């Protein structure tokens, strides 16, 4: 009689077809949201040195990228503007301009693609402020919560009027989801979705993003008075619970890989759509590993993105979206 057990778990791993048949988590292009950076000009592409392989694009270029996303089966773009320095001020006035970069990009993409692709827009003041903070400052340099919420409501309505499908407040002010939801309902934008950056941590992984939107050199101090402490987990559940009660349609955990435990806890506790942002620092680490010969890009990208789905996400914001979509094609 054999000394081995009758059940051998390796049996189902022996062939590719069997591994595919028994696979528990499936990643598809429909799970991806592609973040893109909009800049001024025409036919203008600007490389971002700290994000190798990622570039800003003028409005016409971003419209072409939207068409590319549609052809790849990517269902949604996330838009972030690189506002010119002369249009930034202490209160982020440009965020309310109906002809700002974000709004022009929204209209151009909708003209090019219609409803073939969704548009997620960032609601926060840091791309528009001269000080790089996500809100309005008092005399001591502290970000004022309620005054900032009022500004965010106006920004969200501006984007919704331009044609945004999902407004995504990334600022972490208390009470902003309820205020924005109420304003959307009252102004005829009841079908505009709200994706709350519910658990956004004060992370060291955001540096390249700040380069991309032009705020790194402007930022004085840090954002620890409003973004979450990376040591906290229970607090994330409180944040998510509040945002859902205030009217969020979905929630986001940011960053991604260092916070897979948070994603799983949120999904298990609330059973709602949870998204993750594989942030700029995570992307840059993969690219650095590839450049150093420490790993293969395609395998690293698919493994990390699959880990988000396995942890419980409905989708992932990733700069690798076009590559992943082609690999999954």
pLDDT at 219: 86
Indicate the SS3 state at residue 251: strand
Neighbours of 97 (CB within 10 A): 16
**pLDDT beyond 80 at 72:** yes
Radius of gyration of the chain (CA): 20
Check: CB of residue 32 under 8 Å from CB of residue 318. yes
For 184-229, give the DSSP string. HHHTT-TT-EEEEEEEEB--TT-HHHHHHTT-GGG--S-STTTSBP
- Positions marked catalytic: 200, 254
Alpha carbons 258 and 313: distance in angstroms, whole number: 14
3-state helix, strand, coil in the chain (%, to 5): 45, 20, 35
Compute CA distances 134 → 107, 184, 215, 257, whole Å: 25, 21, 10, 24
Alpha carbons 247 and 242: distance in angstroms, whole number: 9
- State pLDDT tens for residues 186-236: 999 999 999 999 999 999 999 999 999 988 888 888 999 999 999 999 999
Indicate the SS3 state at residue 134: coil
pLDDT at 73: 98
Q: Burial letters for 67-89: b for 16+ Cβ neighbours within 10 Å, e otherwise?
A: eebbebebbbbbbbbbbeeebbe
Q: How far is CA 47 from the centre of its chain?
A: 20
Surface-to-core class of residue 112, CB atoms within 10 Å of its CB (0-12 exposed, 13-18 middle, 19+ buried): middle
Neighbours of 261 (CB within 10 A): 12
Quote the percentage of the chain above a pLDDT of 70.
99
The rounded mean pLDDT for the chain is 96
Check: CB of residue 209 under 8 Å from CB of residue 54. no
- State pLDDT tens for residues 262-320: 999 999 999 999 999 999 999 999 999 999 999 999 999 999 999 999 999 999 999 99
* Structural domains of the chain ordered from first start: 30-251 (3.20.20.70)
pLDDT at 90: 95
239 a known binding residue?
Answer: yes
Q: Which of 9-13, 240-244, 294-298 has the lowest mean pLDDT?
A: 9-13
The β-bridge partners of 63 are none
- State pLDDT tens for residues 121-169: 999 999 999 999 999 999 999 999 999 999 999 999 999 999 999 999 9
Residue 150: closest CA among 79, 92, 225 = 92
pLDDT at 7: 85
Neighbours of 42 (CB within 10 A): 8
pLDDT at 242: 98
**H or E segment to which residue 76 belongs:** strand 76-81
Check: CB of residue 72 under 8 Å from CB of residue 324. no
The β-bridge partners of 122 are 168
**pLDDT beyond 70 at 237:** yes
pLDDT at 2: 63
pLDDT at 186: 98
pLDDT at 1: 58
pLDDT at 220: 80
What is the average pLDDT across 58-79?
98
């Amino acid at each position: 009689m054999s000394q081995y057990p009758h059940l051998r778990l390796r049996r189902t791993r022996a062939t590719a077809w069997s591994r595919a048949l028994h696979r528990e988590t499936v990643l598809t292009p429909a799970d991806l949201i592609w973040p893109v950076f909009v800049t001024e000009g025409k036919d203008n592409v600007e490389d971002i040195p700290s994000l190798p392989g990622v570039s800003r694009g003028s409005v016409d270029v971003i419209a072409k990228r939207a068409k590319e996303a549609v052809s790849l089966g990517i269902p949604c773009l996330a838009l972030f503007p690189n506002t010119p320095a002369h249009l930034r001020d202490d209160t982020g006035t440009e965020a309310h301009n109906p002809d700002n970069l974000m709004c022009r990009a929204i209209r151009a993409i909708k003209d090019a693609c219609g409803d073939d692709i969704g548009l997620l827009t960032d609601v926060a003041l840091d791309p528009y402020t001269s000080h790089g903070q996500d809100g309005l400052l008092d005399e001591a340099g502290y970000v004022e919560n309620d005054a900032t919420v009022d500004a965010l409501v106006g920004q969200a309505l501006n984007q919704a009027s331009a044609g945004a499908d999902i407004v995504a407040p990334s600022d972490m002010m208390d009470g902003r989801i309820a205020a924005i939801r109420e304003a959307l309902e009252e102004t005829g934008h009841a079908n505009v979705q709200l994706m709350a950056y519910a658990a956004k941590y004060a992370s060291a992984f955001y540096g390249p993003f700040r380069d991309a939107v032009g705020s790194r050199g402007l930022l004085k101090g840090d954002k620890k008075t409003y973004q979450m402490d990376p040591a906290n987990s229970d607090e994330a559940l409180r944040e998510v619970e509040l945002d859902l009660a205030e009217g969020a349609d979905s929630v986001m955990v940011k960053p991604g890989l260092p916070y897979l435990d948070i994603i799983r806890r949120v999904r298990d506790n609330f059973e709602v759509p949870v998204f993750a942002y594989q942030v700029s620092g995570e992307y840059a680490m993969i690219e650095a590993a590839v450049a150093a010969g420490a790993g293969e890009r395609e395998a690293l990208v698919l493994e990390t993105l699959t880990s988000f789905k396995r942890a419980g996400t409905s989708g992932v914001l990733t700069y690798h979206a076009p590559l992943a979509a082609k690999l999954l094609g």
